[in-house]
Chain A
Amino acid sequence: MSIPLSYIARNLWTRRLTTALTAGGLALVVYVFATVLMLDAGLKRTLVTTGEYDNVVAIRKGAETEIQSGINRDQASIIEMHGAVAGGANGERMASKETVVLISLIRRGDHKPSNVIIRGTAVIGLALRPQVKLAEGRMFRAGSTEIIVGSNIASRFEGTRIGGRLRFAQRDWTVVGIFDAGGSGFDSEIWGDVDQLMQSFRRTAYSTMVVRLVDAGLYDRFRADIDTDPRLTNEVKREQVFYSDQSRALSTFITILGMTLSIIFSIGATIGAMITMYASVASRVAEIGTLRALGFKRGSILWAFLAEALLLGLAGGVIGLALASLMQFASFSTVNFQTFADLSFRFVLTPAIGLKTLAFSAVMGVIGGFLPAVRAARLNIVDALRAI
């Protein structure tokens, strides 16, 4: 058996002011680190849940976003009639031909304009996205200038409450419903009738198409057929992959920025832990000499101080994580670099993020404690005992 944990923990408690200040420094870094991971996880979750596993998106070859994509009417019919596309109960095809346009709306708080995606779709478009549910009001009527708005739009932009009127494409549009898309990217969109929208925006081609396959296993064949059909200039992607690909640039940006900040801050916090641990060793030289005289070995001393530093790091980690977990109640909105549209998402704390964060804090503690622990372990017994 070696030096008991109670000895280690109580030494931290005895110097609780220093411990708290050092742990506070570590906690700030941990907070930044965890928040960035949570932001990234939230972004990914939002865009992944935007896609349904069985759904497939058809776009123009090479288009990265729906805005850049185009599918003309002939192409749309060919894709729609492919044997792999499921049929509905009333003989209709499970395919939604959609148009996607960016419009500018005025934000509620600061009255500044921001880009919003408006999607022309139909009843089938809702059927293909079971996560989208009407929360208030009603569905837009086909062939009308009625629109429904996602929950993030309703809370963040002017004129988007039920009964509100928005003017774009030289027409007035009436909000008749608010839908909840379960935290997915659709929550940041406005939906209306596809034919009305195409007319108003003077479009002749659709932007994209979403189809449900008879069986998800048919995907590879379906893709190959679309790819090789000489009449088509389109490609298909699983809906989930398509939307999560759209988050890649933003996700990379958030991750790099966040990790750079975390690393720079962590150097400071680690040095703080090191100074604290050096002080801890210096104030206990005679104690170390005594432990050694009693028969505890260098290894036990090394371990005791490393464990103390580890506990210090974990204390910072727990505090930082607790602070970061409060961010789950906040949401964040930013412009998606790839679509240029405003996108809202939540900070998501997953068990994996919790573990990573605690590991990060433990590593900072141990690195900070390493040199002081080595110094403690290398003390000469007689010299240490004379240091009273």
Chain B
Amino acid sequence: MHSIVEIGNLSKSYRRGGQIVPVLEDLTFDIMAGDFIALMGPSGSGKSTLLNLIAGIDKPDHGTLRVGGIDITALSESELADWRARNVGFIFQFYNLMPVLTAYENIELPLLLTRLSGSERREHVETALAMVGLTDRMAHYPSELSGGQQQRVAIARAIITDPTILVADEPTGDLDRVSAEDVLTLMARLNAELGKTIIMVTHDQHAAQKAHHIRQLDKGVLLSSAA
């Protein structure tokens, strides 16, 4: 197994009202390819910030950050957008589906940034729909789906481009117990069967149990790593 995410001496701070607030301080750790890790920690500890940095939607102040062997801190904004389109699958707490697009169209959206033909896109979307068990719902709009179903559509959208890593920020945070269980099972399957590397931020101890490793973050510092 090799490292797919390599983090070295990473720091990030925000400026708030003229004051600099350090959020992440001198973080160093690796994530192995095919791993499924849960990031835990108190609110405001910097979990989302770390996830955003790894996903390439935010920039660190210092340190190195390599994902899939690429130093993403060196990429320009436009290169980073292309890189995300190919390498990162996003799963959000509130699903973030486009309300005016159907389940099918939402899943197809990232493929519009690729060179795939219409029929190839159709094939991919249908496979992904089958994988999340929503083939019969593909013509539905998000408002016509339950939270759990919406999150499964979002997961299909996240894996549609076959990305290097999946990042999930509290993917079950807005779901009831049963739906949450479905989503977690689905993520565990993606990890086990497709070998997807997953980084999941969660507050829920039960959710974290589905991961291979748990990382605790407190005040921007990595505490321990437990299996």
Q: Which residues from A are CB-within-8-Å of B113? A: 1, 294-296
**A1 B57 Cβ-Cβ under 8 A:** no
**A290 B92 Cβ-Cβ under 8 A:** yes
Q: Select B112's contact among A2, A287, A388, beta carbons within 8 Å.
A: A2
Q: Which residues from B are CB-within-8-Å of A4? A: 105, 112
Q: Which residues from B are CB-within-8-Å of A297? A: 78, 81
Interface size grouping (class) on chain A: 20 to 34
**B58 A294 Cβ-Cβ under 8 A:** no
Q: Select B82's contact among A6, A11, A14, A295, beta carbons within 8 Å.
A: A295
Count A-B pairs with CB separation below 8 Å: 65
Q: Which residues from A are CB-within-8-Å of B65? A: none
Q: How far is the CB of A305 from chain B (nearest CB, A)?
A: 14
Residue interface mask B50-67, A partner, CB < 8 A = 1: 001001011000000000
| Partner-contacting stretch, out of B36-44, B95-103, B145-153 | B95-103
**A381 B57 Cβ-Cβ under 8 A:** yes
**B55 A293 Cβ-Cβ under 8 A:** yes
Q: How far is the CB of A192 from chain B (nearest CB, A)?
A: 70
Q: How far is the CB of A15 from chain B (nearest CB, A)?
A: 10
Q: How far is the CB of A382 from chain B (nearest CB, A)?
A: 5
With A7-B100, A287-B98, A385-B92 already in contact, the answer to whether A292 and B112 are too (CB < 8 A) is no
**A293 B57 Cβ-Cβ under 8 A:** yes
Is residue A286 contacting chain B, with contact meaning CB distance below 8 A?
Answer: yes
**B96 A1 Cβ-Cβ under 8 A:** no
Distance, CA A4 to CA B157, complexed state (A): 16
**A293 B94 Cβ-Cβ under 8 A:** no
Distance, CA A385 to CA B105, complexed state (A): 21
Chain B, Cβ-Cβ closest to A3: B112
Chain B, Cβ-Cβ closest to A295: B85
Is residue A203 contacting chain B, with contact meaning CB distance below 8 A?
Answer: no
Distance, CA A3 to CA B101, complexed state (A): 12
Q: How far is the CB of B94 from chain A (nearest CB, A)?
A: 5
Highest count of chain A CB atoms <10 Å: which of B86, B100, B112: B100
Chain B, Cβ-Cβ closest to A8: B100
**A295 B98 Cβ-Cβ under 8 A:** no
Chain B, Cβ-Cβ closest to A297: B81
Identify which of residues 330-388 in chain A touch chain B, using a CB-to-CB cut-off of 8 Å: 381-382, 385, 388
Distance, CA A286 to CA B88, complexed state (A): 18
Q: Which residues from B are CB-within-8-Å of A13? A: 100
Q: How far is the CB of B207 from chain A (nearest CB, A)?
A: 20
Distance, CA A363 to CA B23, complexed state (A): 46
Highest count of chain B CB atoms <10 Å: which of A7, A11, A13, A294: A294
Highest count of chain A CB atoms <10 Å: which of B78, B86, B96, B157: B96
**A295 B100 Cβ-Cβ under 8 A:** no
Q: Which residues from B are CB-within-8-Å of A14? A: 99-100
Distance, CA A293 to CA B58, complexed state (A): 10
Is residue A10 contacting chain B, with contact meaning CB distance below 8 A?
Answer: yes
Is residue B219 contacting chain A, with contact meaning CB distance below 8 A?
Answer: no
Q: Which residues from B are CB-within-8-Å of A294? A: 84-85, 90, 109-110, 113, 157
Chain A, Cβ-Cβ closest to B49: A382
With A6-B105, A295-B84, A295-B113 already in contact, the answer to whether A290 and B58 are too (CB < 8 A) is no
With A1-B112, A381-B58 already in contact, the answer to whether A293 and B84 are too (CB < 8 A) is yes
Q: How far is the CB of A29 from chain B (nearest CB, A)?
A: 28
Residue interface mask A288-312, B partner, CB < 8 A = 1: 0111111111100000000000000
Distance, CA A290 to CA B99, complexed state (A): 12
Q: How far is the CB of A380 from chain B (nearest CB, A)?
A: 9
Identify which of residues 26-45 in chain B touch chain A, using a CB-to-CB cut-off of 8 Å: none
Q: Select A293's contact among B90, B99, B112, beta carbons within 8 Å.
A: B90
Distance, CA A144 to CA B194, complexed state (A): 105
**B98 A296 Cβ-Cβ under 8 A:** no
Chain A, Cβ-Cβ closest to B114: A1
**A292 B94 Cβ-Cβ under 8 A:** no
Highest count of chain A CB atoms <10 Å: which of B57, B85, B88, B157: B57
Residue interface mask A1-39, B partner, CB < 8 A = 1: 111101100110110000000000000000000000000
Chain A, Cβ-Cβ closest to B90: A293
Chain A, Cβ-Cβ closest to B52: A382
Identify which of residues 67-91 in chain B touch chain A, using a CB-to-CB cut-off of 8 Å: 77-78, 81-82, 84-86, 88, 90
A290-B92, A292-B81, A297-B78 known; 10 new pairs, CB 8 Å cut-off, are A3-B112, A7-B105, A11-B100, A286-B96, A287-B96, A291-B109, A295-B84, A298-B77, A382-B52, A385-B57
The contact sample of 22 A-B pairs, CB cut-off 8 A, is A1-B112, A6-B101, A7-B98, A14-B100, A287-B96, A290-B92, A291-B109, A293-B84, A293-B88, A294-B113, A294-B157, A295-B82, A295-B85, A295-B86, A295-B113, A296-B113, A297-B78, A381-B58, A382-B52, A382-B58, A388-B94, A388-B96
In the A-B complex, the 10 residue pairs with the closest CB atoms = A295-B85, A10-B100, A290-B96, A381-B57, A1-B112, A295-B84, A297-B81, A382-B58, A295-B113, A295-B81
A residues lining the B interface (CB < 8 Å): 1-4, 6-7, 10-11, 13-14, 286-287, 289-298, 381-382, 385, 388
